[in-house]
Structure 1
Amino acid sequence: MRQTMRVTPFQHTICPPVCRLQDAAWNYAHGGWRVLPLYGLVADGSCACGQLQCSQPGQHPRLVDGVQRATTDSVTLQRWWTQDEQANIGIATGDGLVVIDVDPLRGGFLEHFRQLYAIPETAMTRTEQGNWQLYFTYNRTLTLRTTKNKLGPGIDTYGEGGYVVAPPSLLTQGRVSWINTATPARLPAVILPFLLGSHLYSPAWSTREQHPSPAARELARLLLSRSAIPDCEVN
């Protein structure tokens, strides 16, 4: 007998830039996103972790287990932000949420990316450094990987085991902020094969003609057809 399972999409919630970090963290968790605390910045702009030459000021987890401890539990979140009210916010990716980062300093062009993959309007943040981060949902039964430059120069993706810095976290260049109030769109199916496995294809943006094996083509076709199954029905 066939069984069905409801895969509930993430509920997008926007917190105003002026709200407290703790309130924003609770807001994201209430909407279904798993949250973790990151080190914030101290008065002189250095990372609160205390390392003299921290390579990721304001961007790395305060927790020993890092992203594995990300949660939606409000009691846990209250305890974390009571311990450090200036802790930045990390949102865990994977499990139905993928974030695509477009970095212009590494050659990423937002408009070209949108046109190349027919990207719909979706929730998006921007850092003062200029990075764009686009939020998408996908079927939780799939496992999407974190990749670097796979979709183009300066374009990274954050999937299973990853996390992103969420508004209104403060970084050395300024605060991360939402630039729209759109709900995260469904990840375009054309992108799926490049995130599901690292050896099916060469980078999607390559100008050279692609020649995947017949087996790889068939697997990609099956994966794409699987992603087209309605959210509410999974074998």
Structure 2
Amino acid sequence: MREILGRRRRLRRRARPAQLDAVLTCVTAWQWPVLPGVGLEKLLSKPSGGWTTASEAAGARGDRGRGCACPDPECAVPGAHPFDPGLLAATTDERMVRWWWANRPTAPIVLATGGRAPCALSLPAVAAARALAELDRMGTRLGPVVATPTRWSLLVAPYTLEQLGELLHAKDWVPSSLRFHGEGGYLVLPPSEAGTGQVRWERAPSPSSRLRSGRGEPVPGSAAPWLPDVGAVLDALVEASNSAPDGGSRLAY
């Protein structure tokens, strides 16, 4: 009897998608509640006269790029919002997020802001780049910064709507380009893709640390990234905006 030897196959570990790695870091190390965003899908154009048969339609469709996968054809934030499940489903449960991203491995990562999760202040990308340079010059310590081609978001420690209201009421003026992402809001995290383009870290998260009492030496603290207070960041942004040499605003659109 002749023995037929099969070719021995090497077992290769499949690389885990970057999306899932980022999601697991959010929920296990940082305890940030997340859920999958709706994502993008191809947009198909249709001739004005329409198609007469299904086969003709299949052969004649043209790709018009990608748009939001939700039912709204005029979606204001294509791909970059919750849909199914809704925002209230955001969780830090590892089994749940593994199931979500096993079924949708490229889904955007949506952070539910507020509560015990980070909040954020965002502004247009061009103004944000100028603002960050000015805040660095002023010596303001910032936390993580999420960037898209159109808008950057500065992550801050959680705040309530009441706290934000008091801060804004105390200001004579606040740049109109600022947006606030607090309780009941959401933010898309890297390495997601939305209708405006790729989402990335302009300032990557760095671990928290606390000072040992009486000695001032840093010791390991929470694994979650350090986040500045919203009041300190808002004060710095207002000051940076008012310091434009021509009397205008550095944070203008």
Question: Pick from 178, 188, 194: which aligns with 1:171?
Answer: 194
Number of the residue aligned with 2:83: 62
Confirm or deny that 1:27 pairs with 2:9.
Answer: no
Provide the secondary structure at the position in 1 that maps to 2:156. strand
Number of the residue aligned with 2:227: 185
The verdict on how the C-alpha distance between 1:57 and 1:119 changes in structure 2, with shifts beyond 3 A counting, is: same
Confirm or deny that 1:92 pairs with 2:112.
Answer: yes
> How far 1:76 moved relative to its partner?
0.9
Q: TM-score, normalised by structure 1?
A: 0.61
Structure-1 separation of matches of 2:201 and 2:132: 18
Number of the residue aligned with 1:143: 160
Number of the residue aligned with 1:159: 182
> How far 1:46 moved relative to its partner?
1.2
Number of the residue aligned with 2:38: 39
Q: TM-score, normalised by structure 2?
A: 0.57
Query: Could you list the runs of 5+ residues in structure 1 that have no partner in the other structure?
Result: 1-17, 194-203, 208-235
Question: Pick from 91, 94, 116: which aligns with 1:71?
Answer: 91
The amino acid that maps onto 1:136 is: V
Q: Which runs of 4+ in 1 moved over 3 A?
A: 111-115, 144-147, 188-193, 204-207
Number of the residue aligned with 1:114: 135
Provide the secondary structure at the position in 1 that maps to 2:95. helix
The verdict on how the C-alpha distance between 1:143 and 1:45 changes in structure 2, with shifts beyond 3 A counting, is: same
Question: Pick from 130, 133, 147: which aligns with 2:153?
Answer: 133
Provide the secondary structure at the position in 2 that maps to 1:132. strand
Provide the secondary structure at the position in 2 that maps to 1:26. helix
Number of the residue aligned with 2:213: none
Structure-1 separation of matches of 2:102 and 2:17: 16
Query: Which string of whole-angstrom CA distances, capped at 9 and with x for unpartnered residues, describes residues 38-73 of structure 1?
Result: 111124311122433322211121235x22111000
> How far 1:98 moved relative to its partner?
1.4
Query: Which string of whole-angstrom CA distances, capped at 9 and with x for unpartnered residues, describes residues 196-224 of structure 1?
Result: xxxxxxxx7898xxxxxxxxxxxxxxxxx
Query: Which string of whole-angstrom CA distances, capped at 9 and with x for unpartnered residues, describes residues 101-126 of structure 1?
Result: 12257x665248738x9741321121
Provide the secondary structure at the position in 1 that maps to 2:91. coil
Indicate if the aligned counterparts of 2:121 and 2:154 stay in contact, CA closer than 8 A. yes
Larger Rg: 2
Provide the secondary structure at the position in 1 that maps to 2:20. helix
Indicate if the aligned counterparts of 1:119 and 1:188 stay in contact, CA closer than 8 A. no
Structure-2 separation of matches of 1:35 and 1:179: 20
Task: Kindly tell me the number of residue pairs found equivalent between the two proteins.
Answer: 172
Q: Which moved more, 1:89-98 or 1:77-86?
A: 77-86
Query: Which string of whole-angstrom CA distances, capped at 9 and with x for unpartnered residues, describes residues 72-98 of structure 1?
Result: 001111222223222111011112421
Q: Give identity over the alignment, percent.
A: 27
Structure-2 separation of matches of 1:189 and 1:57: 31
The amino acid that maps onto 1:173 is: T
Query: Could you list the runs of 5+ residues in structure 2 that have no partner in the other structure?
Result: 1-15, 43-64, 169-173, 207-225, 243-253
- Normalized per residue, the structure richer in strand is 2
